Amino acid sequence: MTQNTTSKSVLTLAEAAEYMGLKKSYLYRLTHEKRIRHYKPNNKKIYFKVEDIIAWLTSNPVLTDEELSEQAQSYCLNSKQRGRRN
């Protein structure tokens, strides 16, 4: 990735694909299926805001074992407390 690409706030499809480590064809498919936010001024070239790319890349986190364990404990504690009230 070029230094110029990392300092820009709006990227072309080719630049965004390089930034994300994806093939251009796959990124184009994501835009066609409206699975990633993009912009098409004058219905021509496709552009992406870097902030939208980052939001998409971080939209589906995988929890660590520790986070899952904490959620399970919290759920069990809340379930027991709800059961006592009834």
pLDDT in tens, 28-57: 999 999 999 999 999 999 999 999 999 999
What pTM was estimated for this model as a whole? 0.72
pLDDT score for 78: 85
Provide the total of helices (H) and of strands (E) in the chain, helices listed first.
Answer: 5, 2
The predicted-structure confidence for 12-22, as pLDDT tens digits, reads as follows 999 999 999 99
pLDDT in tens, 67-76: 999 999 999 9
* Beta-sheet strands, E only, within 16-79: 47-49
